[in-house]
Amino acid sequence: MRDGPPSPDQLIGEIAAARPATIADYMAAANGHYYATRDPLGAAGDFTTAPEISQMFGEMIGVWIADLWSRAGSPAFRYVELGPGRGTLAIDALRTMARLGCTPAGIDLVETSPTLRAAQLTRLPAAEHHDEVDALPDDLPLIIVANEFFDALPIHQYVRVADGWRERMVERRGGLLAPVAGDIPADDAIPASLRGQSEGTIVETAPVSAAIMQRCAFRLARQGGAMLVIDYGYAGPAAGDTLQAVKAHRFVDPFADPGEVDLTAHVDFTALGEAAQGADMSVSPMTTQGDWLRRLGIDARLQSLAAAAPTRAGELKGQRDRLVDAQAMGDLFKVMAFTAPGWPAPAGFTGDAV
């Protein structure tokens, strides 16, 4: 007999034991507990994001925002970040923006983790926290940054079986959780271009991501502003299983330790773009993180930092290479921007430098 209410881990296990859960429900429950109970970042955590690798990443985002703001006529605006981690990106971006004369009227962070909220407030004491996009203030234009945010949102998976498509479910088998094909036909959930795939093929959809993107887009269409999305992903529609789990900087079984590992999936940038177009937003071409950072001037920033601290030149070069090189994060991570009607085209998506 258990004393008191079930822990989040026990609850996840009981849900899975009682009935099969969709991959989306499983991912939402597991990640909800995971992010609420720890700071997962850095060498002592499970993974490291670009802002934690180098100050240059946040600085280039600050340059991007200041350039867009200046060409938009220097309006008052709010800086918004979705899933801001420890606040490292915001600190670097805001410092760079201030140096360029661009100071937001407010700093608004969309974050649900109590642990990460506390870490963010130590660095950004003036920031306001919000549980969801719909709670953001509606008084000014918004410039929204979402770095490695959409990859952690729930996805649905569908698998091709002999007589069509079925949603992939999670159920307990022999004391372990495992994915299985559901019983209900799900052919209508598959893009027409992918329905003819061979047996065993997996297709993913992300309706939660699309809904949040659409809410951001309609908010920006009303208030003005722009949104920058950076994440590992692809241009869909495409088939393939991208669900993955990371613990202590290693890939592990996504179903072995629910609530104690970071569950993510690759982001379909085409689907994000389609979600925003209904709000009459301008959507940039998708580009790679490496190309985007080079166009914004990361190499010039590297030279400046190395000149100021010659003993760190090799370390700084290594940080730049990790962010930009195709064999590291440069090609895996993609970038897309969304701008409200009347706002200028954002920098970094063509060959022109800032």
Cut 0.85: pTM above it: yes
- Sign for the CA dihedral angle at 246, 248, 253, 256 comes to negative
- What is residue 1's predicted lDDT score, i.e. its pLDDT? 46
Other C-beta atoms closer than 10 Å to the C-beta of 184 total 8
Tell me if 33 sits within 8 A of 115, measured CB to CB: no
State the Cα–Cα distance between residues 226 and 203, nearest whole angstrom.
30
- Rounded distance, CA 221 to CA 211, Å? 15
How many beta carbons lie within 10 A of that of residue 105, not counting itself? Answer: 13
Average pLDDT over all residues of the chain: 93
What token pair was written down for 87?
Answer: 């606040």
pLDDT of residue 8: 54
* CA–CA distance, 83 with 74 (Å, rounded to integer): 26
Q: Are 62 and 93 in contact (CB under 8 A)?
A: yes
User: What pLDDT does 9 receive?
Assistant: 58
Residue-wise pLDDT for 186-207, tens only, equals 999 999 999 999 999 999 999 9
pLDDT tens sequence across 45-88: 888 899 999 999 999 999 999 999 999 999 999 999 999 999 99
Residue 157 CA to residue 190 CA, distance in Å, equals 10
Residue-level pLDDT at 172? 83
Rounded alpha-carbon distances, angstroms, from residue 223 to 77, 129, 272, 279 = 9, 19, 20, 12
Task: Report the share of the chain in percent with pLDDT over 70.
Answer: 94
Phi then psi for residue 166, to 5 deg, are -135, 145
Q: Whose CA is closest to 244, among 235, 236, 253?
A: 253
